[in-house]
Structure 1
Amino acid sequence: MNKEELGGFLRSRRARVQPAEMGLAAGARRQTPGLRREEVALLAGISVDYYIRLEQGRGPHPSEQVLGALGRVLRLTADEHDHLLRLAGHPPVRAVPTREVPGNVLRLLERLDGVPAMVINVRYDVLAWNPMLVALIGDPAERPAGERNTLRWLFGGDRPPSGSMLQLGRQCVADLRASGRYPGDPDVRRLVDELSASSPQFAALWAAREIAVQRTLRKRTVHPVVGELELDCEILPVPGRDQRLVLYTAAPGTASGHALRRLRDTLPG
């Protein structure tokens, strides 16, 4: 159980819920955003002292029933509720962490000759990719193995991300939070510490404690050969592994769809 993270997460979500959403009057003397601690405790059916100790990182190990009640009061999404369970020491069964990509997934990458695709792990390390991804973003093999990480690409460059790229970064940071790997996984902790120290934007996004497992993203970029691209990024879990297959697609007949076809034509052979 990570009491400090649990308390911080509860505080951040309590501040997000408006009293009117729970049928409470805002009141003229309300000085803090969101619900009061006393209101959360009352609505969840627990004592005020018990809830205060949870927020302060001094509470006992809460049961799944208590966490379920808090999740309903704080209006948590399914992903956020899973994260709350993990913080309180009730983690779901996790896939085995490994950098070895299954052979069937590698064969699938080879067959996706018209779709940029890659395999990433929970840290956003790029583990495998196909020629179309190289045509889209360059060859990850030209970077040292430790730098093949999309979060480092987003937040570790000379220019801080902005616009759509910053929104993409926000979604990825929320996804990393939702994995439940921090702070128990030393590799994830090192990555978070590194980027928090080097990127004020990453540090602010991490401190916001947003939680959302990403399944579909939108990526906008300008390619030096085929021009503007607006791509749907589908993120598919690899069964039995702590890995995901990332596919970049565009709707047929669109400008981006035609651009992807032109990109395919630039490949050798």
Structure 2
Amino acid sequence: MDKRELGTFLRSRRERLRPQDVGLPPGPRRRTPGLRREEVAVLAHISTEYYIRLEQGRAPRPSGEVLAGIAAALRLTDAESDHLHVLAGTAPSRTGLHRRDVRPSILTLLERLPQTAGFVTSALFEVLAWNDLAAALMEDFGELSPRERNLARRAFLHPANTLYGVSDAAEFRHHVVMELRATLARYPADPAVTGLVEELRDGSPEFARLWERRDVQAAHMLTKTFHHPVVGDVTVDCDALALTDRDQHLVLYTAAAGSRDAEALALLNVLGTESITAPSA
């Protein structure tokens, strides 16, 4: 049970709500934002004293029933409710290290996907495996060190870098922060996880600002446009398939058959990674 983070998370969710959001009258002007602690306690059917101790990090582990009541009172989403249970220690938690080894069958699948850019990421946004088209569309990951293949570092610690010219760079950075918060809750003892979060908080004011929001509901990114130096803009459909046994994701970029974007991907498939370093037209 992470008492300190649990209390901070509860407070952040409470402060975003207005009385009218939960069916309470607005009443006189409030000095602080959000619901009062006693209001949450009433809605959750627990004592005010116990709820205060939870926010202060002084309470014993709450039961699943209490957490369910608090989640309902704070209008938590499914993802936020799951995160609440992880912080409270009432959900299965991975106490070891996050996995970086990719299943051989997934490696084979990557090479057999026609006209599809595909790669596998770890729970820390490390690019673990990729096919030739992904390298041609993004960059030749084989030329980079494992540290440099981390998309979270690329997004936040290299401000001059435009994340392969993608159209949704800001949304992706927000997505990274939310996913890393959930990853830290799952692997609190993994030095690679804690180290990356600390590195990003120290090195990026934007990451630090987003981190303090404590959001855990990642938005789905359905499409994105790459501004490629050779073939121009390429808009692709994005699918991230969870590989739950290793806590990894298989990310696939495709384009509708017969479209200009599909033709651009086909050209990149032929040109390979040499196209990335070609001079812009």
TM-score by length of 1: 0.91
Unaligned ranges ≥5, structure 1: none
Change (3 A) 1:61 1:160: farther
CA RMSD, aligned part only? 2.2
Q: Letter of the aligned partner of 1:242 in structure 2?
A: D
Change (3 A) 1:217 1:159: farther
Q: Letter of the aligned partner of 1:75 in structure 2?
A: R
Is 1:35 equivalent to 2:35 in the alignment?
yes
Q: Give 1:239 deviation, angstroms.
A: 4.2
Q: Give 1:164 deviation, angstroms.
A: 2.5
Change (3 A) 1:86 1:111: same
Quote the residue 2:276 is aligned against: none
Q: Give 1:215 deviation, angstroms.
A: 5.5
Q: Give 1:93 deviation, angstroms.
A: 6.0
TM-score by length of 2: 0.88
Aligned pair count reads 268
Quote the residue 2:180 is aligned against: 176
Change (3 A) 1:147 1:267: closer
- On the 8 A contact 1:223/1:229 being kept in 2, the answer is yes
> Identity percentage over the alignment?
47
1:185 is aligned, of 185, 190, 201, to: 190
Change (3 A) 1:160 1:132: closer
Unaligned ranges ≥5, structure 2: 274-281
Quote the residue 1:45 is aligned against: 45
- Whole-Å Cα distance in 2 between the matches of residues 210 and 231 of structure 1? 27
Quote the residue 1:204 is aligned against: 209
- Aligned to 1:127, what secondary structure does the other structure show? strand
Is 1:247 equivalent to 2:252 in the alignment?
yes
Matches within 5 A, 1:1-269: 1-92=1-92, 94=94, 97-159=98-160, 164-179=168-183, 180-181=185-186, 183-213=188-218, 216-267=221-272
- On the 8 A contact 2:115/2:265 being kept in 1, the answer is yes
Moved more, 242-251 or 70-79: 242-251
- On the 8 A contact 2:86/2:93 being kept in 1, the answer is no
Q: Letter of the aligned partner of 2:173 in structure 1?
A: G
Q: Give 1:145 deviation, angstroms.
A: 1.5
Quote the residue 2:279 is aligned against: none
- On the 8 A contact 1:96/1:242 being kept in 2, the answer is no
